Amino acid sequence: MSKLGNIGARLYRGEVGYDFIGKRKIWYGISILITITAIVGLAVRGLNMGIEFSGGAVFTTPSTSVSASEAQHQAESAAGGHQAVVQKLGDGALRIQISGLDTKQAVPVQEELAKDLSIPVKDVNTQLVGPSWGEQIADKAWLGLGIFMVLVVIYLAIAFEWRMALAALIALIHDLTITVGVYALVGFEVTPGTVIGLLTILGYSLYDTVVVFDSLKEASRDITKQTRFTYSEIANRSINSTLVRSINTTVVALLPVAGLLFVGGGVLGAGMLNDISLALFVGLAAGAYSSIFIATPLVADFKNAEPEMKALAKRVKAKRAAAAAKGASQEEPQDAVPGGADADEDADAAVVGPRRQPPTRPRGRGRSSGKRR
């Protein structure tokens, strides 16, 4: 832990760092590949919409020794080929969802299920869900998502600038696309819990992005008045200075969500936990990735297109070339002035990081006090 803290402190001070901005084309390529895979999975497999959106019937049975797979086969046979989703509840009961059933079709299926499972018909609880209710939920979810996007762009444009707002919006769309694509590829059922999970990750996805943007805003203030760093270098320092914090917050957030997904959903078989936890898990991981590898590099690209930043980059490059030439001419011992002020300034211009101050001389040691004895 002490080593991790030491690395974090050195990253924050700029003594070490990874060139995220310089390798941004690699991250862009990885993101494009993942996004295309998600879109293809969504187009080919589609989303497995729950009965809350497609309509159907839910049958709940008392405790039985019949397995979930056997009950699924019997339910699909009784429903005439309609797809059935069976969940084994904690007390041994079964929850059977069959989409596409109306009121007339539900009664014969209820009777057939009771016969196949060897339980009384009255003990099989039946609930019918119309597709109109799911359409209302979907419409409200899209409306809430649109309002959220608009408010986020407005706030970030006011608090930072429009380039950061645009980069954050692109990163947010990137995270949502990947999350929905994973749902299509995995085949998890889309329920109201899924909608809740998707809306929840929006805030988490922006959290790390805003932290990096805030650091970048402070570091780039009056940037054109200096010739030590380009905007890309300052953006890279901002990512590195907040890297350990982003990793820590993401890991702490992912641990309980992973418990919900793998323990609650996988071991206990709780379907609603699967719906929410998968969206949260994928969204949190994608949000942490996009804040470092997508959002901030996009801001650097947007800013570097400005004439002021292009001129700054030329001045920085020219100063470093002059410093390199001056250093080469001072290689001879008789002309070199080691530790001079100009050498320190030129070294700082060529190296991204804080200046190393010379150690202070101890005062009062080895000197006479001046008092007469």
DSSP output for 362-373: PSSSSS------
- The answer to whether residue 272 scores a pLDDT higher than 70 is no
163 and 202 belong to one structural domain? yes
Rounded CA-CA distance 330/347 in Å is 13
- The answer to whether residue 276 scores a pLDDT higher than 60 is yes
Structural tokens at position 203 = 């805030």
For residue 196, what are the CA distances in angstroms to 86, 116, 253? Answer: 22, 36, 17
10 Å Cβ neighbour count for 83? Answer: 15
43 and 98 belong to one structural domain? no
**pLDDT at residue 128, as a whole number:** 77
Rounded CA-CA distance 276/268 in Å is 15
63 and 125 belong to one structural domain? yes
Rounded CA-CA distance 162/167 in Å is 9
**pLDDT at residue 12, as a whole number:** 57
Does a structural domain hold residue 77? yes
CATH number at residue 204: 1.20.1640.10
73 and 32 belong to one structural domain? no
Give per-residue pLDDT as tens, 93-148. 888 888 777 777 788 888 888 887 788 888 888 877 776 766 777 788 788 888 88
Tell me which of 293, 308, 323 is where a domain ends: 308
DSSP output for 138-165: HHHHHHHHHHHHHHHHHHHHHHT-HHHH
87 and 20 belong to one structural domain? no
Residue of higher predicted confidence among 360 and 80: 80
Give per-residue pLDDT as tens, 34-53. 999 999 988 888 887 777 77
**pLDDT at residue 189, as a whole number:** 77
* Dmax (CA) of the chain: 117
DSSP state of 20: T
CB burial of residue 39 (10 Å; 0-12, 13-18, 19+): middle
66 and 186 belong to one structural domain? no
Residue of higher predicted confidence among 30 and 249: 30
Rounded CA-CA distance 328/69 in Å is 77
Does a structural domain hold residue 367? no
Return all residues near 182 (Cβ < 8 A) that are at least 6 apart. Answer: 38, 41, 278, 282
Give per-residue pLDDT as tens, 9-19. 666 555 667 88
279 and 192 belong to one structural domain? yes
The pLDDT confidence band at residue 349, using thresholds 50, 70 and 90, is very low
Asked whether the CA dihedral 199, 54, 120, 89 is positive or negative, the reply is negative
Lowest mean pLDDT across 16-25, 39-48, 264-273: 264-273
Q: What is the mean pLDDT of the chain?
A: 78
Give per-residue pLDDT as tens, 174-185. 998 998 888 888
Average pLDDT, stretch 74-93? 76
Does a structural domain hold residue 362? no
Does a structural domain hold residue 8? yes
Do 174 and 35 touch, CB atoms closer than 8 A?
yes
**pLDDT at residue 298, as a whole number:** 94
Tell me which of 284, 308, 332 is where a domain ends: 308
| Phi then psi dihedrals of residue 219, to 5 deg | -70, -30
Which residues constitute the domain of residue 109? Answer: 56-129
Average pLDDT, stretch 69-81? 79
Residue of higher predicted confidence among 245 and 311: 311
What does R_g of the chain's alpha carbons equal in angstroms? Answer: 31
Does a structural domain hold residue 342? no
10 Å Cβ neighbour count for 347? Answer: 13
156 and 250 belong to one structural domain? yes
Tell me which of 256, 282, 308 is where a domain ends: 308
23 and 76 belong to one structural domain? no
**pLDDT at residue 135, as a whole number:** 74
CATH number at residue 77: 3.30.70.3400
The pTM for the full model equals: 0.72
**pLDDT at residue 327, as a whole number:** 78
Q: For the chain, what's the residue count?
A: 373
Do 137 and 192 touch, CB atoms closer than 8 A?
yes
72 and 175 belong to one structural domain? no
Does a structural domain hold residue 353? no
Angle at 63 between CA 123 and CA 130, to 5 degrees: 55
Using DSSP's 3-state secondary structure scheme, residue 189 falls into strand
Rounded CA-CA distance 234/244 in Å is 17
**pLDDT at residue 307, as a whole number:** 92
Do 234 and 219 touch, CB atoms closer than 8 A?
yes
Average pLDDT, stretch 226-237? 91
Total number of domains in the chain: 2
**pLDDT at residue 2, as a whole number:** 53
Helix (H) or strand (E) holding 99: strand 94-99
Using DSSP's 3-state secondary structure scheme, residue 59 falls into strand
**pLDDT at residue 28, as a whole number:** 94
- The answer to whether residue 73 scores a pLDDT higher than 70 is yes
Of 146, 179, 153, 155, the C-alpha closest to 168 is 153
The pLDDT confidence band at residue 7, using thresholds 50, 70 and 90, is low
Does a structural domain hold residue 183? yes
211 and 258 belong to one structural domain? yes
94 and 241 belong to one structural domain? no
